[in-house]
Chain A
Amino acid sequence: MPIVDVNAEGLRAFTLKEVKRFWSVLGQTVTAPVMTALLYLLVFGQVMQGRVEVYPGVGYTQFLIPGLIMMSVIQNSFANSSSSLTQAKIMGNLVFVLMAPLASWELFVAWLGASLLRAGLVALVLYCATWPFVHLPIHSFLQLLGMFLLASGSLAVIGVIAGILASKFDHLASFQNFLILPASFLSGVFYSIHSLPEFWQRVSHFNPFFYMIDGFRHGFLGVGDAPVWLCFAWTGGFFAVLSAICLWMLSTGYKLRP
């Protein structure tokens, strides 16, 4: 008996299936979010450039782009896993996966992997597309990668949880419109929290999305609103707690295997 019980071929096949799913509609899953982010950049960058200097020596556009990239990562990581799972549930084809000899953690890894890939692709294309507008320094590549993985991972897991809970697309839309969208918008993509009233500044310190954006931006610029270690601690803790909840749901068959 192998030490780790893993269906490697099964895991590979299911991950491939999840990747092919978003790959077959790349226009919706990658091009569209990149377009949206570029529009934000065009509007806000144009209006605000030269008026605000958030950190000394950092132009507004430079400040904005890392936030926009992280915002897209957050939204797309969530969108990928949640819509894949909800769709499979509603179409009924989730049974093919549930009847297969795949462990719950293998399903988890595949959903996570596909979300990371899609979000990574969006981030990369966005970074390249903004290149002509403004040159972004890279303060620490490792920090960028680490924050990307934890943030994208967290949102992919929230997506799986939402997919488990949702019994129709309406539920998913509510999740997206009332939680993910506001949280990604109001967590310092467009401004430094230092420009907020004191009360909201304090509230921001309990918002994991704020740490994702701030930590990611720090990876480019080397400056941020919160210490880097705190960003990693928050995002890492968030990911760990969410993963534990999600794995518990999957292993007990919560809602998926009534």
Chain B
Amino acid sequence: MSTPPIPAAVAIAGVKKQYGKTVALKGIDLEVRRGEFFGLLGPNGAGKSTLINIIAGLVRASAGRIAVLGHDVERNFRAARKSLGVVPQELVFDPFFNVIDMLRLQAGYYGAGKAAWPWIDQLIERLELTEKRNAMMRTLSGGQKRRVLIAQALVHKPPVVILDEPTAGVDVELRRTLWQFTRELHARGHTIILTTHYLEEAEDLCERVAIIDQGMLRVVEGTKQLLGRHPFRFLKLKLNGAGLPESLKPLVVSETGGEVELKLERKHPVGEVLETLRAHGARIDDVHTREPTLEDVFVELTRHAHR
């Protein structure tokens, strides 16, 4: 007998979702490995939230299967849900309760009674909610509510944590605290799945990313590999005198404050561009190149859909 392979943190196979005639997911196959810091990216309405909701059991897939640590989210929903903590995108809260009662009840739902109380106290302290421990949920600020949501998702110490746009509408200070905390969780062995609109955050944090667009998976790859594979780089120029020659105009991606940015294929030498400019009579005041960011790759992969 062979030993069964270690199940993925989240295994998604052939997942489709249709609402009436609207197709939200057109068949997603994806595996998030254990211990990964994984980014799930995509424009608004791409189907990210639908996918997360199916993993969390809030929405039923029209077809396909999802397992969390090998537990099917429908047939073995108890084990699947105990393995999972989801920080929802909206600032939802129960107005009838204060912070500590809400967290203790939440731990109870997961079968952890008083045993979870010391851990809850730690979470409160770590998320800087000590002063708000006995405050009613409705009296909290947006940032405080967000932190309670994170604590709520972690009361049962789930091995897999999903953060759906955790930094939307959050100030810089809290954003930093959140990322530090998330990194700590990851370092302690939690698998983290993150969706965010701030692609530089995803680039910093995520080992691998998936890009979803129009209900389909466009790419799943290591963040570094994805950036390295990108066949472009960018050249920013400040010009004087004659403008750009016609031959270079198709390469322009942006033009702001007298600066123009060109997108060059890697095989296209920068020297050649500069030569063309000089020959055209343009004076170059400033020049620098930059490597593509995740945002560039993202735009590249999803833009055709929005033209």
Q: Does A203 make an interface contact (CB < 8 A)?
A: no
Does A142 make an interface contact (CB < 8 A)?
no
Q: Which one, A13-21, A33-41, A219-227, A228-236, is touching chain B?
A: A13-21
Shortest distance in angstroms between B119's beta carbon and chain A's nearest beta carbon? Answer: 15
Q: Is B257 an interface residue (CB 8 A)?
A: no
Are A101 and B78 CB-contacts (below 8 A) given A9-B108, A257-B60? yes
Question: With A9-B113, A20-B96, A88-B94 as given contacts, are A98 and B108 in contact (CB-CB < 8 Å)?
Answer: no
**B66 to chain A: closest CB distance in Å?**
14
The stretch from A54-62, A89-97, A147-155 touching chain B is A89-97
| Residues from chain A with Cβ under 8 Å of B94 in the complex | 88, 91, 93, 96
A258 interfacial by beta-carbon distance below 8 Å:
yes
* Interchain CB contact (< 8 A) of B60 among A7, A95, A258: A258
A28: min CB distance to chain B, Å: 12
**4 smallest A-B Cβ distances: which pairs?**
A13-B108, A92-B92, A100-B109, A101-B78
Task: Tell me the nearest residue of chain A to B17, going by C-beta.
Answer: A258
Q: How far is the CA of A24 from the CA of B79 in the complex (A)?
A: 33
Measured between beta carbons, the chain B residues less than 8 angstroms from A237 are none
Interface centre among B77, B90, B97, B111 (most CB of A within 10 A): B111
Q: Contact at B88–A16, with CB atoms within 8 Å?
A: no
B92 touches A93 (CB 8 A): yes
The 0/1 profile, CB within 8 Å of B marked 1, for residues 87-118 of chain A is: 01001110111111111000000000000000
Contacts of A95 in B (CB 8 A): 56, 58, 88, 92
Question: How far does the alpha carbon of A58 sit from the alpha carbon of B86 in the complex, in Å?
Answer: 61
Q: Is the CB of B92 within 8 A of A12?
A: no
CB within 8 Å for A7 and B93 given contacts A96-B106, A257-B59:
no
* A98 contacts B113, C-beta separation under 8 Å: no
Q: Which residues of B contact A88 (CB under 8 A)?
A: 94
User: Is B152 an interface residue when CB atoms closer than 8 A count as contact?
Assistant: yes
How many chain-A residues does the 8 Å CB contact rule pick out?
30
Q: Check if A12 sits within 8 Å of B108, measured CB to CB.
A: yes
Q: List 11 A-B contacts (CB under 8 A).
A: A10-B111, A20-B97, A20-B101, A91-B94, A92-B88, A93-B94, A96-B106, A96-B109, A96-B152, A98-B58, A99-B57
0 or 1 for each of B204-220: is its CB under 8 Å from A? (1 = yes) = 00000000000000000
Instruction: Write out the residue numbers on chain A whose beta carbons fall within 8 Å of the beta carbon of B88.
Output: 92, 95
A20 to B108, CA, bound (A): 14
- Most chain A C-beta atoms within 10 Å of own C-beta, residue among B57, B60, B93, B108: B108
Please give me the residue from chain A that is nearest to B113 by CB atom.
A9
Besides the known contacts A14-B105, A96-B94, A101-B77, 18 further A-B residue pairs in the complex with CB atoms under 8 A apart: A7-B109, A10-B108, A10-B109, A10-B110, A16-B108, A91-B92, A93-B93, A95-B56, A95-B58, A98-B58, A99-B57, A99-B58, A100-B81, A100-B109, A100-B110, A101-B82, A253-B60, A258-B19
Residues of A within 8 A of B111 (CB): 7-10, 101
